[in-house]
Amino acid sequence: MRFMSNSNSTRSLKTLKGFGLVTILALAMACGGSDASSDSAKTTSPVPGATPAAPAANLITADEIQLGEIDPGRVKKGEEIYDVKCQACHSKGTNRVVGPGWKGLLDHRKPEWIMNMIVHTDAMLETDPEAQAMLEECLVRMPNQNLSVDDARDVLEFIRTL
């Protein structure tokens, strides 16, 4: 005699869990530089209407940057800064090293956004959604390079040539 055993196959769906976001956060915190230099860059920028939602740092606004004809003097200085302080992590092409490559950067980033990423790196990584998305992708937090606004402007001019 045969008994049909009641096949009782319960299938358990496995749910995908997060991709270790905790690790990313831990990394981000571990890499933060603790150099509190007294860089009082531009405390008196006329912010139209002083938006209350503005982040703590005095972010650079569009009207503080004029892009005229490419200034070769600035390009040269910007390239020198790049060679010393940025090259280790950024290529002049489109390929990523540690951070994204710079070629064509101005096609998808506003000049003031780039300037803020350079001068106010921490504020951007803490408040700007696009900077945060990049951090999630790169898994390394860009350290503040302590550039002045003027240095950053030189680098921006150099980026314009790429």
Residue 7 CB, nearest approach to ligand HEC (Å): 52
Kindly report the CA angle at 64 between 42 and 155, in degrees rounded to 5? 85
* Amino acid letter for position 125: L
Of the pair 47, 133, the CB lying nearest ligand HEC is at 133
- Two structure tokens written together for 80: 């020198």
Residue 146 CB, nearest approach to ligand HEC (Å): 9
Residue 75 CB, nearest approach to ligand HEC (Å): 14
Contact 107, 97 (CB under 8 A): no
Of the pair 7, 34, the CB lying nearest ligand HEC is at 34
Nearest C-alpha neighbor of 131 from the set 150, 144, 147: 144
Find the residue with minimal CB distance to ligand HEC. 99
> Which residues contact ligand HEC (rule: CB under 6 A)?
81, 85-86, 88-90, 98-100, 105, 109, 114, 117-118, 125, 134-135, 138, 140-143, 145, 147, 155
- Number of CB atoms found within 10 A of residue 44's CB: 6
